[in-house]
Amino acid sequence: MNGADFLQLDPNSAPQGARMAWLTEQLRAGIADGRLAQGVRLPSSRVLADELSMSRGTVVEAYHRLMEEGLVVSNRGGGTTVANVIPATAATPAAQQPQDPGRADGDGIDISSGMPDLSAFPRAAWSRAERKVLSTATSRELGYADPQGVPALREALAGWLARSRGVVAEPDQIIVTAGVTGALSLLAQVLRNRGVTTCAVEDPGADGNRRILDYWMDGLVPVPVDEDGLSVDALAQTSTRAVIATPAHQFPTGVVLSPERRRALVAWADRANGVVIEDDYDAEYRYDRAPVRAMQGLSPERVVHVSSLSKVLAPALRVGWMVAPAHLRDELAEKRWATDLGSPALMQLTLAELLETGALERHLRTLRKKHRERRDAAVEAIAHFLPGCKIEGIAAGLHLVVMLPEHLDDKVVTERAKREGIAVHPLSRHGFTTGVPGLVIGYGPHPIPVLEQALRRLGRIVAGCTS
């Protein structure tokens, strides 16, 4: 991969011939501004060199310089961690915190969107973490936990979100939820109490999110999406004061919200005294460059960052979080308490352990490689079996959109596909109006031969609809 999650390092911005100095400076800056807090473990030189397409020697030398400057220390067991240094600039709040198969029904294949490779769930690492938690949890920890989430998990999440997504968050601002869905229900209820009774949604936009928000609110306001993401001009024409967007990887179209639109969206929220819900659902997976930093960092008071482990571990865990702006935090935490006293504590402690030991990030690196290979294979198979059907969106996430010939009805195509054993979603499912026909294809769970088989069959189905 050309780029790293870690500090969103983008090697393309490194001057030719001065890559080591560039890397050293990036790491120094991360330590100075607090994104890399004391005790944070740097990626191994091998992993970082691989992600940045640099030689390992370059990374080793950069780490060595930082060591000489006293900014990092090398541990006895190997590994390099950030030393006990006072940040040179005002630290971000996060810096002040310690770190704590193709599923076949019969011979059918489900390539509808949204799932990671669940067969890769890190069962051994999970069991190890769970055993450790069971043997070390205090009696007190087996009682009622903080409804907002156990402190160890919120601390570990604050560090991870700062490092990997540029999110500015005190653990105290993080509310552990039942996935993105749980975060949206809480938010919708709290916004409603404040007189914000409608929410703008991307059109097309995630059907699942839309249904949850529609359940809790009085109405939804569709706002069109183009190649730069959500149209902020169109949003500004509405009278709503809340909007949900997927800036890093728009669902379903796969575009990225442009820098101008990001700024415009924050300016809109300031003018309208509004709230932007940033659904960062699959931002961990960017295959062509380093992921774009989360929007929350631009305006922590206007943007509510929500995400979950559904795309990294498994939807079955029902674990997500939101980073609440100060003016909403107390009400959101109270709503979390009043709903069900919070998420199960033992599972939260297990997740904290996976984050603290680096096991979650290791798992993510393995998954990212696998998902990228599957996406590449899907792109190739689509070019072969669905010739002339364009693929939309950036190389990221767990799904892609294939545009169909304009005269086709995507619902008819998916109905026919279903009869022939291929489960796939029509693009129109995610839009308010029918729009252009397309298919939203999930490649995450399937070994490459299964994916190829599904796409070969889909190609025949589409050709049959066309002729």
Closest CA to 315 of 150, 445, 450, 144: 445
Considering beta carbons, is residue 40 or 206 the nearer one to ligand PLP?
206
Region for residue 17 given its phi and psi (left: phi exceeds 0; alpha: psi -120 to 50; beta: otherwise): left
Phi, psi (5° rounding) for residue 208? -65, -50
Considering beta carbons, is residue 82 or 440 the nearer one to ligand PLP?
440
Considering beta carbons, is residue 38 or 296 the nearer one to ligand PLP?
296
Q: Which residue is nearest to ligand PLP (CB)?
A: 179
In the complex, the smallest distance separating the C-beta of residue 167 from ligand PLP, rounded to whole angstroms, is 16
In the complex, the smallest distance separating the C-beta of residue 311 from ligand PLP, rounded to whole angstroms, is 7
Considering beta carbons, is residue 59 or 402 the nearer one to ligand PLP?
402
In the complex, the smallest distance separating the C-beta of residue 20 from ligand PLP, rounded to whole angstroms, is 39
Considering beta carbons, is residue 99 or 209 the nearer one to ligand PLP?
209
Considering beta carbons, is residue 278 or 410 the nearer one to ligand PLP?
278
Closest CA to 356 of 40, 31, 7: 40
In the complex, the smallest distance separating the C-beta of residue 305 from ligand PLP, rounded to whole angstroms, is 13
> Site residues (CB under 6 A) for ligand PLP?
114, 179-181, 206, 208-209, 246, 251, 279, 281, 308, 310, 315, 320
In the complex, the smallest distance separating the C-beta of residue 342 from ligand PLP, rounded to whole angstroms, is 16
Containing 48, the helix (H) or strand (E) segment is helix 45-51
- The residues with which 223 forms a beta bridge, in sequence order, are 202
Phi, psi (5° rounding) for residue 174? -90, 130
SS (H, E, C) 121-155: CCHHHHHHHHHHHHHHCCCHHHCCCCCCCCHHHHH
Q: How many helices (H) and strands (E) does the chain have?
A: 14, 16
Question: What are the Cα distances from residue 75, in Å, to 24, 49, 174, 192, 348?
Answer: 19, 20, 30, 51, 27
In the complex, the smallest distance separating the C-beta of residue 285 from ligand PLP, rounded to whole angstroms, is 12
